[in-house]
Amino acid sequence: MTQTEITELVTALRDNSLSIAFAESCTAGMLASEFVKAKGSSDVLKGSMVVYQPEVKTKLLNVRKETLDLYTAESQQVTNEMVMGLKKLLEADISIAVTGLAGGGGSETDEKPVGTIFVSMLYDGKAEEFREVFDGNTQAIRKKAVDFIFDKLKGVLEQHYNNR
């Protein structure tokens, strides 16, 4: 997504008096880093946290150890708990969490190959989950994940807020 498009997202958030927060694992801060390139981002971004290791997900976002043990750190279930913890902690109008396998060495299987990304979004009393598989090297997968999240955010803003 271009800087102009991200600025349009920020403007839509600001025009709707909405705040946003991120909890990032596999994107390791790239989501927030790209977001703040937009003019006016400080008006809407409450915060972002990189919760890379499972212990940090538990300590900061109250992801249950049982969930991590049962489903692995790279799972929709963990992402869902991350977004709930983020919402409770920062109380943003829109909370977004992302986990996944941007490189080898994680919990990859034939059903969950490298490139599998999980996203959870909480907004307006609703929750949405996404599972996508991207190709490329680690950097390309992370960038595609960020663009995917911004695209989904754009859809949420267009569908749920701009029509009020």
29 located within any domain:
yes
Cα 149 from chain centre:
7
- Cβ count within 10 A of residue 104: 9
Quote the pTM value: 0.95
Q: Tell me, what CATH number does 40's domain have?
A: 3.90.950.20
Cα 133 from chain centre:
15
22 located within any domain:
yes
163 located within any domain:
no
How many structural domains comprise the chain?
1
Locate tokens 């109008």: which residue?
93
> pLDDT, tens digit, for every residue of 105-139?
778 888 999 999 999 999 998 999 999 999 999 99
Segments forming the whole domain that contains residue 15 = 3-158
Number of residues that make up the chain? 164
164 located within any domain:
no
Q: Give the integer Cα–Cα distance in Å for 128 and 19.
A: 17
Q: Which residues contact 94 (CB under 8 A, 6 or more apart)?
A: 13, 18, 19, 20, 21, 121, 122, 123, 153, 156
> pLDDT, tens digit, for every residue of 46-101?
999 999 999 999 999 999 999 999 999 999 999 999 999 999 999 999 999 999 99
